[in-house]
Amino acid sequence: MTVTSAPPIQRRTTPPPLEPDQPQRTTVSAVRKKRNRKSYALFALLAFPNMILIAVFAYWPVIGNIFLSLTSWDMVAPTPLFIGLDNYTRLFTDPDFLDVMGRTLVWVSAVVILSLALGLVLAFLFSLRAPGTPAVTAMAFSPHVISGAAVAAIWLFIFDPNFGLSRAAFALFGVDSPSWTTDSAWALPALIIVAIWKGVGFVAIVYLAALQGIPHDIQEAAKLDGATRLQIFRHVIMPLLSPTTFFLTITQIISAFQSFDLIAMMTGGGPAGSTTTLSWFIYEQGFQSFDAGYAAAASVLMFVILLCVTAVQLRYSERKVHY
């Protein structure tokens, strides 16, 4: 048996220190360093202004708001008075605030769930490409680009129980129109209707684009395997729409939480607080009751809630969303 010795392993060794008589290697390293410095400079040049903007207009207000939430301040006095966690104690022991949170939950759930459901239905209808679909699609989308104030003004006319379209519609059934914006039982449903009308077109367009991106051969294959339409929808289309649903859910939740214009224009949080959601509560405390510290504490809570919602959704999306 012949034993052959293994070839010697060539190990990468650290390069020997540069000698003064190695001008070429010195030049290459210096050029690389110079290039790196240039790259960093370019990176800093491009990123720094944006980082400054984000720091000044996003992070600094958040930090400032947290500080403000620990103070009592009417926004006119020269300096806020530090009161520790009193605003938070007040927030969590105020029965009215509990009502506000409950109402916000109803508002956000109703707007998000109904917008997504109706938007999906509309998207399916649009995808059938019936005559006139492009015009109807444009009409459905247009409320999304109209300002909230204009939408509110239009709907205030429609909802007027004495002279509005609502009166005529209910009169067909021989009943009086509800006092939509002045009845505490109807005011929140009225706002939900308007918010859905304004936002559903956007949801439908996004879903339509996603539907059009689903390859037909997958659906054909399911059909050949004997899947019914409902099964195809449930087990093929919906999973493939999950990234879109995920995106829309996040954006709609955040948008509904922050919704302000419709409430400001149509009900002012009333009657009797029946449309006071968290965003309106913050405005009311800050700019009508001039209790900046209390409003800031509620804002911090809203920030934490949205942070948690986003974190949960991100974690969920890693497991369940099919890209």
What CA–CA distance (Å, rounded) separates 150 from 309? 30
> Which position has the token pair 């009502």?
99
- Given a contact cutoff of 8 angstroms between Cβ atoms, the answer to whether 198 and 232 are in contact is no
Which residue of 74, 105, 238, 303 would you call a contact of other proteins, by CB under 8 A? 74
**Nearer CB in complex with other proteins: 172/272:** 272
Q: Which stretch binds other proteins (CB under 8 A): 43-51, 191-199, 222-230, 280-288?
A: 280-288
Beta bridge partners of residue 301, listed in sequence order: none
**Nearer CB in complex with other proteins: 29/289:** 289
**Nearer CB in complex with other proteins: 161/189:** 161
User: Is residue 182 close enough to count as binding other proteins by CB under 8 A?
Assistant: yes
- Given a contact cutoff of 8 angstroms between Cβ atoms, the answer to whether 271 and 254 are in contact is no
What CA–CA distance (Å, rounded) separates 321 from 73? 45
Q: Which stretch binds other proteins (CB under 8 A): 38-46, 120-128, 177-185, 228-236?
A: 177-185
Nearest approach, Cβ of residue 290 and other proteins (Å): 4
**Nearer CB in complex with other proteins: 59/163:** 163
**Nearer CB in complex with other proteins: 23/95:** 95
Q: Both tokens of residue 150?
A: 């204009």
Nearest approach, Cβ of residue 92 and other proteins (Å): 16
Contact flags string 281-310 toward other proteins, x per CB under 8 A = ---x--xxxxx-------------------
Burial label, 103 (beta-carbon count in 10 A; 0-12, 13-18, 19+) = buried
User: Is residue 79 close enough to count as binding other proteins by CB under 8 A?
Assistant: no
Beta bridge partners of residue 72, listed in sequence order: 81
**Nearer CB in complex with other proteins: 245/275:** 275
What is the SS3 assignment for 240-307?
HHHHHHHHHHHHHHHHHHHCCHHHHHHCCCCCCCCCCCHHHHHHHHHHHCCCHHHHHHHHHHHHHHHH
Nearest approach, Cβ of residue 96 and other proteins (Å): 9
- Given a contact cutoff of 8 angstroms between Cβ atoms, the answer to whether 85 and 67 are in contact is no
Nearest approach, Cβ of residue 193 and other proteins (Å): 16
Binders of other proteins among residues 130 to 169 (CB under 8 A) are 156, 159-163
Nearest approach, Cβ of residue 54 and other proteins (Å): 22
Residue 32: CB atoms within 10 A of its CB come to 10
User: Is residue 72 close enough to count as binding other proteins by CB under 8 A?
Assistant: yes
What CA–CA distance (Å, rounded) separates 252 from 53? 26
Which residue of 3, 9, 58, 76 would you call a contact of other proteins, by CB under 8 A? 76
> Which position has the token pair 């998000």?
112
Contact flags string 250-279 toward other proteins, x per CB under 8 A = ------------------x-xxxxx-----
**Tell me, what amino acid is at 87?**
N
Nearest approach, Cβ of residue 72 and other proteins (Å): 7
R_g of the chain, CA atoms, integer Å: 30
What CA–CA distance (Å, rounded) separates 269 from 57? 28
**Nearer CB in complex with other proteins: 75/314:** 75
Rounded to the nearest 5 degrees, what angle is found at the Cα of 214, between the Cα atoms of 309 and 319? Answer: 35
The residues that touch other proteins, with contacts defined as CB under 8 A, are: 72, 74-78, 156, 159-163, 179, 181-184, 268, 270-274, 284, 287-291
